[in-house]
């Protein structure tokens, strides 16, 4: 995608949503989306069709952006207004799948990703060179189409139609009495009705006539607040891309340590962290797992409790000063997670942090000043692994192998040996792919690695056609991904005492690990899949011996 843009001399800048924000106004919408994801996961677990974004897709995407040198920023909360502000400052279009951008007054227009044909680059004539065939939505043209509608009324149109902050149901009285029927009829009717007003205030007054007198001020406030969401933000993202500083009112008010704000803006900490810190509430995303069993995320609960302990330790001491609180009470975080087939709130107590191996107290404000050796010790202690065990492992695989040891200890039901072997074979296949596909011309490739990789590709092509699906094995691999996700987040929060594994280059492939597991059950010799490469055979044995010991 990105090399295609660059071939067309398009410079991409990626602006990502952050956490839910201090006001948590989108909570009802996010709960609804989580429930939809749960229904999709349920269908997939029964063999029905559907689509679910993998658990670590976001982390893999950020790693890919870094590898390609694509500049990006992660906003503190929702990014729409900051995207609009930057696009207008630069006069460039916004490329997104979010139809909310139709209601923003964007100087360069809005290009829906659904009509952006990046896989079919067109060869242009003359100096223009190649280009991406695309469609660009223009607010001015849209308003002309509906009787010279004033574009300042579009935010009200978006709000009346129901957006992420205001449900259409809250305005049902107005929509019903205004006589708009059917989805498209309602949209068209709303636009033609709005076209008679010169500015939003007049239109809001007219809407309020449909409400009882005691409701009117509350509805006016609801509409005006929601319309503000379509005003481009004055946060200067250009400053971030040129000088590296992310400053906004919400960040100043958050009270978060400067190093945390900086790490969030650079995508070095996940939105999960800011939600836990600012709201004491997190969403745990469901995967295709066995819905009869406890959530796959329960395997990683001890790691999450340490994360919460690190994040909330500083604020705990200030709260404890109030007489109603006991000083030894640990902070609590509300997790939205799956319980059987429904989304439930589960309250989790933060862990009290060990102090026996480190003189420094792990306060969030000064966490980066704690010696790296102490931060590494805390990570290893949390996962129950000793560094001496990991010393024979390549540094970029130490974190996933430590997570694998933790997974074997903490998963219920217990991990089967074939599942472990399938996982390690998959990791080795990713290493082999990395060696044989690395574009670095100075790299000397052993011929036996290339032979082993070609044999593996032939095997994979033949075996991946099979559609056999083992739900319990899938559940176990989901647990591994949950443990990896939280192991990564804890490592990031501690300033990466261990190297981050490369998720964007095949560390994990769900279809492949599943097929390897099925094959190992019927054909144990699959364990020798990489026998023509002594280096990969040795790596597999080292990984297996480390985990088993």
Q: How is 354-387 classified by DSSP, letter by letter?
A: P-TT-SS---GGGGGGS-HHHHHHHHHHHHT--H
> Rounded distance, CA 247 to CA 256, Å?
12
What percent of the chain lies above the pLDDT cut of 90? 72
> Rounded distance, CA 399 to CA 372, Å?
16
pLDDT over 90 at 360, yes or no: no
pLDDT over 50 at 326, yes or no: no
pLDDT over 70 at 324, yes or no: no
Domain definitions of the chain by residue range: 1-230, 258-314+330-548
> Rounded distance, CA 319 to CA 329, Å?
10
Judged by average pLDDT, the poorest of 324-338, 408-422, 426-440 is 324-338
CB atoms within 10 A of CB 411: 20
pLDDT at 464: 76
> Hey, what long-range contacts does 504-507 have (CB within 8 A, 24 or more apart)?
504/60, 504/61, 504/63, 504/64, 504/67, 505/430, 505/433, 505/434, 506/429, 506/430, 506/433, 506/434, 507/400, 507/427, 507/430
> Rounded distance, CA 164 to CA 27, Å?
9
Q: Which residue has the tokens 């094995």?
A: 473
Average pLDDT over the chain, rounded to an integer:
90
CA angle 24, 164, 85 (to 5 degrees): 85
> Rounded distance, CA 474 to CA 29, Å?
29
H/E stretch holding 281: strand 281-283
Contact 465, 512 (CB under 8 A): no
Token duo for residue 437? 């596909």
Binned at pLDDT 50, 70 and 90, residue 163 comes out as: low
pLDDT at 453: 92
pLDDT over 50 at 323, yes or no: no
Summarize the confidence of residues 525-540 as an average pLDDT: 94
Residues 6+ apart with CB under 8 A from 520: 418, 421, 422, 526, 527
> Rounded distance, CA 312 to CA 276, Å?
8
Token duo for residue 407? 């997974």
Closest CA relative to residue 18, chosen from 243, 281, 261, 206? 261
Residues 6+ apart with CB under 8 A from 531: 452, 537
Handedness of CA 469, 473, 475, 480 (dihedral sign): negative
Bridge partners, 334 (sequence order): 281, 347
Q: Can you say how many angstroms the Cα of residue 29 is from the centroid of all Cα atoms in its chain?
A: 16
Q: How many CA atoms lie within 13 A of 19 on its CB side?
A: 26
pLDDT over 70 at 325, yes or no: no
Summarize the confidence of residues 445-472 as an average pLDDT: 87
> Rounded distance, CA 515 to CA 469, Å?
9
Three-state secondary-structure class, residue 280 = coil
Contact 143, 102 (CB under 8 A): no
Binned at pLDDT 50, 70 and 90, residue 442 comes out as: confident
Percentages helix, strand, coil for the chain (3-state, rounded to 5) are 55, 5, 35
Cis peptide bond prior to 405, omega within 30° of 0: no
Token duo for residue 77? 């909360």
Summarize the confidence of residues 178-186 as an average pLDDT: 70
Closest CA relative to residue 397, chosen from 235, 539, 202? 539
Binned at pLDDT 50, 70 and 90, residue 356 comes out as: low
Bridge partners, 121 (sequence order): none
Judged by average pLDDT, the poorest of 108-112, 132-136, 158-162 is 158-162
Q: What does the DSSP 8-state code read for residue 233?
A: P
Closest CA relative to residue 277, chosen from 352, 350, 346? 350
Closest CA relative to residue 474, chosen from 431, 429, 427, 508? 508
Contact 260, 278 (CB under 8 A): no
> Rounded distance, CA 330 to CA 317, Å?
10
- Summarize pLDDT for 40-90 with one digit per residue, the tens: 999 999 989 889 999 999 999 999 999 999 999 999 999 999 999 999 999
> Rounded distance, CA 544 to CA 536, Å?
12
- φ, ψ dihedrals at 46, nearest 5°: -95, 5
pLDDT at 321: 41
Q: Does this model's pTM top 0.85?
A: yes
Q: What does the DSSP 8-state code read for residue 79?
A: -
pLDDT at 368: 95
Burial code (b: 16+ CB inside 10 Å, e: under 16) for 59-71 equals: bbbbbbbeeeebe
* Alpha carbon distance, N-terminus to C-terminus of the chain: 43
CB atoms within 10 A of CB 450: 15
């Amino acid at each position: 995608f990105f090399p295609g843009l660059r071939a067309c001399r398009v410079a991409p800048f990626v602006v990502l949503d952050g956490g839910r924000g201090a006001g948590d106004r989108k909570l009802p919408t996010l709960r609804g989306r989580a429930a939809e994801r749960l229904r999709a996961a349920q269908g997939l677990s029964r063999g029905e069709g559907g689509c679910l974004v993998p658990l670590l897709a976001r982390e893999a995407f950020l790693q890919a952006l870094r590898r390609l040198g694509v500049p990006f920023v992660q906003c503190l909360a929702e990014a729409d207004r900051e995207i609009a502000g930057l696009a207008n400052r630069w006069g460039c279009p916004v490329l997104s799948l979010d139809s909310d951008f139709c209601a923003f007054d964007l100087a360069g227009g809005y290009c829906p990703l659904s009509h952006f044909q990046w896989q079919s680059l067109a060869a242009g004539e003359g100096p223009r060179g190649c280009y991406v065939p695309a469609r660009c939505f223009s607010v001015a043209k849209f308003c002309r189409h509906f009787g010279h509608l004033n574009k300042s009324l579009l935010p009200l149109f978006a709000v009346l139609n129901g957006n992420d902050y205001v449900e259409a149901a809250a305005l049902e009285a107005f929509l019903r009495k205004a006589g708009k029927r059917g989805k498209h009829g309602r949209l068209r009717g709303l636009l033609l009705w709005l076209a008679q007003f010169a500015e939003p205030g007049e239109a809001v007054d007219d809407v309020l006539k449909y409400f009882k007198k005691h409701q009117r001020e509350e509805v006016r406030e609801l509409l005006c607040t929601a319309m503000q969401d379509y005003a481009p933000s004055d946060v200067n993202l250009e400053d971030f891309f040129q000088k590296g500083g992310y400053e906004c009112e919400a960040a100043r008010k958050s009270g978060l340590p400067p190093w945390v704000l900086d790490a969030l803006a650079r995508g070095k900490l996940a939105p999960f962290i800011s939600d836990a810190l600012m709201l004491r509430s997190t969403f745990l995303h469901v995967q295709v797992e066995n819905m009869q069993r406890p959530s796959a995320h329960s395997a990683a609960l001890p790691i999450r409790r340490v994360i919460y302990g690190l994040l909330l330790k500083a604020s705990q001491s200030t709260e404890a000063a109030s007489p109603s609180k006991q000083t030894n009470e640990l902070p609590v975080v509300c997790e939205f997670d799956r319980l059987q087939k429904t989304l439930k709130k589960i309250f989790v107590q933060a862990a009290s942090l060990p102090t026996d191996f480190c003189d420094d107290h792990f306060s969030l404000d000064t966490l980066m000043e704690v010696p790296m050796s102490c931060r590494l010790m805390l990570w290893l202690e949390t996962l129950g692994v000793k560094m001496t065990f990991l010393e024979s492992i390549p540094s970029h695989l130490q974190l996933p192998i430590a997570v694998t040891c933790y997974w074997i200890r903490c998963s219920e039901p217990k991990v089967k040996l074939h599942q472990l072997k399938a996982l390690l074979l998959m990791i080795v296949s990713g290493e082999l792919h990395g060696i044989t596909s690395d574009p670095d011309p100075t790299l000397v490739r052993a011929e036996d690695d290339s032979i082993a990789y070609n044999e593996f590709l032939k095997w994979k092509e033949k075996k991946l056609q099979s559609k056999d699906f083992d739900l319990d094995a899938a559940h176990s691999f989901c647990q591994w991904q949950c443990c990896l996700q939280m192991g990564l987040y804890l490592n990031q929060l501690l300033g990466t005492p261990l190297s981050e594994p490369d998720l964007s280059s095949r560390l994990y492939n769900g279809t492949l690990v599943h097929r390897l597991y099925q094959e190992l059950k019927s054909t144990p010799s699959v364990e020798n899949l990489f026998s023509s490469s002594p280096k990969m055979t040795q790596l597999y044995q080292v990984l297996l011996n480390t985990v088993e010991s």
